Structure 1
């Protein structure tokens, strides 16, 4: 089997003052083959590296508070260690081409994620320590498979294929609520304590088996024989218990956040139906989150017994049109092949009957045509989509951003300015970064370019982890004849991705640039020197951690 390596496995050994169990690290390294992973294997390997916890007792299930984790979990895999492990994983993920930093889809994801976090906080699911120490970030993965996964430290990944499959924002929110509950219940930490009962050979074989399962379930089954099959079955049994716990708590978070209680049941039913019709390995979510008739039945029962007042108020039913616009964007961007884009240009066999379905079809054609640089088709489809979305401000906003992107792609800066104008300055990341792209399209002598640099500088002062903003700022300073500032912005972009060595290299390049004749900018050079000292100190600290103190 040509399985994929777990890149950076050596980093999993020591995290801060806490060293992970040696057999976990050795098992990971022992399982390292020769090719770089896709996202499915990465997520699945973590699902298996951290086996699930046993089921809760009926008494514990009856309580509203979190199950007691016990001192053993905190001692063996504390909150700080889990966050550090998650940060290391995310540093690898952010440098991978499959990591998809799309501001418009990212804003939409945040519009679901933040209410869920608020609901978990209100329900008491987040302890003060977890809220302060974990990242609580949801991110996108450019993959057409239907999947979502939780990682250590409060990170949740969402495949574009999942967004493209969901029929409503409530269904998508139900998946996020489920994954959020995996994190708030510290399933990874609880599982790590349990994993000490497994042998090194069992852990290694299961990790390799799950890497294979992402490509070929048959190959995985061939690897899992004898005693290893017994160990795997134990893992799956625990996983079912953990999934039921995440279902129960996730449903409460979903309803508290104001989403439709029916979202979780309808999502389960959609996954079950579509996977039966197309069982081609496109649903890795069902391998790591196996559906059973019991789970589906419980979701239906919870939905039927949900708050009648919430249903009457229509909570969680915001903008089916907005979801259609985002679903269309995910459909086209999840698969970068031109043949896939051309397929979306073909009319469906049956014309959509509902307005939201028609909007989805037209917005999908518009996005596909833009990718193919088919301007006439893109204009026709986008105009139809805008007419269908008329009166829905959130859907119209999304389409206005698409029109702005289309104008920029054609080099029509004036039309881009006009399309963005009603939504410029709304405080969203999508608006800020799109406005920056419009500003960069102006000539170097234009006041718009200087204004763009100043606005981006203000933005990154508040959003220092925004890689894309730093990259745009570097372009702006370069065009304005400020190479020292441009190189420093490039360094900050590297740092935001987790590439500490690359950031230091760029800052050292800035120091050399500052010493060249005619480059005298004492203030900027001082900032570069101070920042380099900070990063070098952080690098030395990381090295000490890697060496175990």
Structure 2
């Protein structure tokens, strides 16, 4: 982690100390005034409301995006959303969630107040099955449900906030690859304070485990997967010695924690085994992304955990597509789609492969066939929009305007909207959409310069209604920038 990145993170620590608990859009244009009024961080009171948590979480997400490599994969993102949708009703979380995927092989996931859930690609490589993967998400939802961020802030007020910030900075630096320097920073903090905070974190971990176990059982996942996942993590920690998985830097796994979750899991009912290949297919996507230069390695790792044959065929199709053999890939996927007609991700994968192979009409036909049955299936929407940008920009603009309202926190949607607007002669819209993309990605200064340009274009074209809309968004951006400077 660079010195510049570390400095930026330090600015966030006083407001986002939940990073010690992590497993490590802006609102629609018409709702812009909702977004950036964060609490006064200089206040003597640290009482944090749910509205504060929402705003802090969204601001943190933008900072996070600015400092990490995103993994744009609509199919995987939609899958994670679907898992969370199963768990949320039983977790006590009452907020709309935003999922962000990270292009990193480090084992990590996190939940940020305000409903931000992040998943590293590396988590898929470690969790061999859907239940173990779900156990991590359920645990993170437990942190949100128990409002551990607000409770931690209250506890921090009773201790030493500057020391807490210093300790967390060391943890972040170590997690980012700082190694010995990060550990030294942590050890340099006051020992008694650290012990107090660790004890408090262990209590939070136990609460999150219990909420997660209950949610898993009620949602139809096997609660036995949570202690099993902990054992896997414990083995990884022993194998990696002084460089444990990022997850364990903030979620220490102890024998007592494993025993506690095992005892509680034993009291819950495990569902019958099922051979749904969906998770193994998604895992294959992650493995291939992380091993792009060596797809054989991706297949080797997938096969180690005895996946369903359909998942092996699916990964083979992805590999064929990567090796410029779209015919073979599409033939395999079409057969799989016939065998598993309820898995929309299979024909959506075929549509994306057709698009990547410059088979525009085939891609459009495939995506629209899916949308007739599942009108809001994001992976198919994405392929349709991509294709229309190339073949019919005006239609693409209409489609993407709708998508930007449906996915107001997705910077990729606004990026594609900007392209569609530019190609269809809507220059002011194009520049505004680009500004929205930039602010969602955390580059607020560049976004303000972009929105200034959009306002100039709107006025020059005589579109004063658009200029007024842009002017309001500019005020929102300026308020957001001021808030972030105080972060």
Give me the TM-score of the superposition, normalised by structure 1: 0.73
1:356 to 307, 329, 340: 307
Does residue 90 in structure 1 map to residue 54 in structure 2?
no
Report matched runs for 1:505-524 at 5 Å: 505-516=449-460, 519-520=461-462
CA distance in structure 2 between the aligned counterparts of 1:219 and 1:167, rounded to whole angstroms: 33
Deviations 1:46-105 (A, max 9, x none): 43499xxxxxxxxxxxxxxxxxxxxxx986333333333222211212334513342111
Does the aligned pair in 1 maintain the 2:128–2:305 contact within 8 Å? Answer: no
Structure 1 unaligned blocks of 5 or more? 13-23, 26-42, 51-72, 443-447
Report matched runs for 1:123-272 at 5 Å: 125-126=92-93, 131=94, 136-199=97-160, 202-214=163-175, 215=177, 218-225=180-187, 228-272=190-234
Does the aligned pair in 2 maintain the 1:424–1:435 contact within 8 Å? Answer: no
Structure 2 unaligned blocks of 5 or more? 23-43
Tell me the equivalent position of 2:277.
321
CA distance in structure 1 between the aligned counterparts of 2:404 and 2:220, rounded to whole angstroms: 32
Tell me the equivalent position of 1:55.
none
CA, structure 1 residues 526+227, in 2 after alignment: closer, same or farther (shift >3 Å)?
closer
CA distance in structure 1 between the aligned counterparts of 2:18 and 2:244, rounded to whole angstroms: 19
CA, structure 1 residues 220+452, in 2 after alignment: closer, same or farther (shift >3 Å)?
closer
CA distance in structure 1 between the aligned counterparts of 2:189 and 2:292, rounded to whole angstroms: 46
In the TM superposition, residue 106 of structure 1 has moved relative to its aligned partner by: 1.0
Does residue 486 in structure 1 map to residue 446 in structure 2?
no
CA, structure 1 residues 538+362, in 2 after alignment: closer, same or farther (shift >3 Å)?
same
Tell me the equivalent position of 2:288.
332
Does the aligned pair in 1 maintain the 2:448–2:474 contact within 8 Å? Answer: yes
Deviations 1:194-226 (A, max 9, x none): 223443663344124313432265544444447
Tell me the equivalent position of 1:429.
378
CA distance in structure 2 between the aligned counterparts of 1:110 and 1:192, rounded to whole angstroms: 28
Does residue 47 in structure 1 map to residue 19 in structure 2?
yes
Deviations 1:235-257 (A, max 9, x none): 32322222111111111122222
In the TM superposition, residue 307 of structure 1 has moved relative to its aligned partner by: 3.2
Deviations 1:78-135 (A, max 9, x none): 3333333222211212334513342111100100112222222xxxx35xxxx3xx65
In the TM superposition, residue 370 of structure 1 has moved relative to its aligned partner by: 4.2
Higher relative contact order (CA 8 A, sep 6+): 2
CA distance in structure 2 between the aligned counterparts of 1:149 and 1:297, rounded to whole angstroms: 23
Does the aligned pair in 1 maintain the 2:393–2:421 contact within 8 Å? Answer: no
CA distance in structure 2 between the aligned counterparts of 1:349 and 1:117, rounded to whole angstroms: 34
In the TM superposition, residue 151 of structure 1 has moved relative to its aligned partner by: 2.2
Instruction: Say what the alpha-carbon RMSD is for the aligned residues.
Output: 3.6
Tell me the equivalent position of 2:472.
534
CA distance in structure 2 between the aligned counterparts of 1:408 and 1:161, rounded to whole angstroms: 27
Deviations 1:336-381 (A, max 9, x none): xxxx32322258679949873544444445445545xx213x6546
Does residue 286 in structure 1 map to residue 248 in structure 2?
yes
Q: Indicate the SS of the match to 1:302.
A: helix
CA, structure 1 residues 454+198, in 2 after alignment: closer, same or farther (shift >3 Å)?
same
Does the aligned pair in 1 maintain the 2:138–2:215 contact within 8 Å? Answer: yes
Aligned residues: 461
Greater CA drift, 152-161 or 74-83: 74-83
Deviations 1:19-48 (A, max 9, x none): xxxxx47xxxxxxxxxxxxxxxxx9x7434
Deviations 1:151-191 (A, max 9, x none): 23332211111123222222222111111111111111211
Does the aligned pair in 1 maintain the 2:9–2:169 contact within 8 Å? Answer: no
